[in-house]
Amino acid sequence: MTSDLPVIDHWIAGAPSAGGDRLGPVFDPALGEVAKQVRLGTTADVDAAVAAAKEAFASWSQTSIAKRTQVLFAFRELLNARVGELAEIVTSEHGKVLSDAAGEIARGLEVVEFACGIAQLQKGAYSEQASTGVDVYSLRQPLGVVGIISPFNFPVMVPMWFFPIAIALGNTVVVKPSEKDPSASLWLARLWQEAGLPDGVFNVVNGDKEAVDALLVHPDVSSISFVGSTPIAQYVYETGTRAGKRVQALGGAKNHMLVLPDADLDLVADSAVNAGFGSAGERCMAISVVVAVDSVADALVEKVTERMATLRIGDGRRGCDMGPLITREHRDKVAAYVDQASADGATVVVDGRKGEFDGAADGFWLGPTLVDRVPTSSAVYTDEIFGPVLSIVRVAGYEEGLALINSGAFGNGTAIFTNDGGAARRFQHEVEVGMVGINVPIPVPVAYHSFGGWKQSLFGDTKAYGTHGVDFFTREKAVTARWLDPSHGGINLGFPQNS
Ligand code: NAD
């Protein structure tokens, strides 16, 4: 690394902050070179950000709903007008193609729009005359300083699953973005400032394990919202809850798509290619296994292969369909699964290592790969590969497919493709997965339904955004009130009963 590369700082109390001098590389994956450096935050940097957030909480939590809502609307308008600018930042550090980067921003904007309705969402409940002359009501109050730790694959959308709602409810925020693509969070911090958010409400500390660990045990941090791989999610959940925090930790995935014989195979093939190879398979809701009933599997493999041949892989700034992977190490790790597949007896139908790429020679390229007849004992089937490798597993029928899906360690997303409403209804009822698509391959719920998986895909009992988000970022207070009335009175040491 050369010292003249730009350095991405933290953002604390409304201004860039340099802090400690540990630095990490930020690549441009389509060029395959280090383009910037990022500060790797120290415990002292986290302390500074949390202190700023704590100070800002004192006034932001007391700011009226009307004023908080105005800031949210202003942020929404600014972001909506500048999607292209942010998409370019995402593409330059993540590698996903520009249209896909714009797509993740649009899904993040949905959560901002949901949070604009905070006046309705933050309402408590009121029970008049719960007892004679007594009213009972509940209030939703913000938690305080909330920590958000995000993965590399959605540098805009994932933090935005959390912070618009947290901020709208009166909390203050410290975001720890992925160190692989940190610039989007800094850009969003400046946008918040432009929208009129008081300094200190939204802070960013860049970094790695050291910054995460400091947030997890900081006494002034009330909650942690984490998204990343399963082992780290489990670690974060256990460490954060042990430190007395409210924690939601979303983990990894291995999403199956069950194809019944009556499905529209052209729709299935389009969906499998889109959901398997979009964002180079680096999506937690990517389809990585197509579970095809035997009678249609050959025809489906043929249709998927035809479509794969039309994909243009290359620099996301050049109008390609699919970009590079995030790092060279990750590309090599994903590519190694192709050899593993052959060694385990699977059929490699399309080997993505042999493709042509419209980009710099050193880019972290790996083309779409299709592997048929994958044994379920193979690591290709059991591991979360997180790359453009689509597996086909053949089953005799619905029951075998369902049992396979339900036996998996993860339970993030799944889909069924069929024209049989009865089969689809059975599937939605019987499948042990948190998000289900019916003829929809990537069933990411809209902002007013919550996002989250089951099993090893979510630690904690609260999903992201929607009403779960409102619950997670508030504490409820129940008030029982009686105003002076001449009919009351008298001493009674018994437990209060309602009359
Ligand atoms: P990751 O687990 O490597 O990193 C996630 C975050 O944890 C980053 O901010 C990183 O800096 C931090 N981190 C990494 N190692 C750590 C450690 N040892 N101790 C403490 N913190 C650590 O994940 P990633 O590679 O950035 O993202 C890909 C993963 O995220 C995949 O497993 C994917 O399925 C998952 N993901 C899940 C969802 C979901 O909604 N369930 C959404 C997006 C991504």
Biggest distance spanned by C-alpha atoms of the chain: 88
For the chain, give every domain's residue range: 7-251+457-480, 255-438
367: confidence class by pLDDT, cuts 50, 70, 90: very high
The model's pLDDT over 202-234, given as tens digits with 9 standing for 90+, comes to 999 999 999 999 999 999 999 999 999 999 999
Find the 200 Cα to ligand 1 centroid distance in Å: 26
Which of 296, 61, 15 is closest to 169 using CA atoms?
Answer: 61
Find the 248 Cα to ligand 1 centroid distance in Å: 13
CATH class entry, domain 7-251+457-480: alpha beta
Residue 404 is encoded by which pair of tokens? 């396979």
Q: Do domains 7-251+457-480 and 255-438 have the same CATH topology?
A: no
Q: How many C-beta neighbours within 10 Å does residue 165 have?
A: 31
Determine the atom of ligand 1 nearest the C-alpha atom of 230. Answer: 32
Which of 121, 84, 91 is closest to 106 using CA atoms?
Answer: 84
The model's pLDDT over 76-93, given as tens digits with 9 standing for 90+, comes to 999 999 999 999 999 999
Q: Are 168 and 98 in contact (CB under 8 A)?
A: no
Average pLDDT of the residues in 160-176: 98
For residue 458, what is the enclosing H or E element?
strand 458-459
pLDDT at 177: 98
- Tokens 């986290």 belong to 46
So which residues are the catalytic ones? 284
- Tokens 């592997």 belong to 371
Find the 234 Cα to ligand 1 centroid distance in Å: 11
pLDDT at 306: 98
Determine the atom of ligand 1 nearest the C-alpha atom of 231. Answer: 2
The matching CATH number, chosen from 3.40.309.10, 3.40.50.720, 3.40.50.9100, 3.30.200.20, for 255-438 is 3.40.309.10
Task: Give, in order, the Cα–Cα distances in Å from 68 to each of 56, 105, 171, 253.
Answer: 13, 22, 11, 35
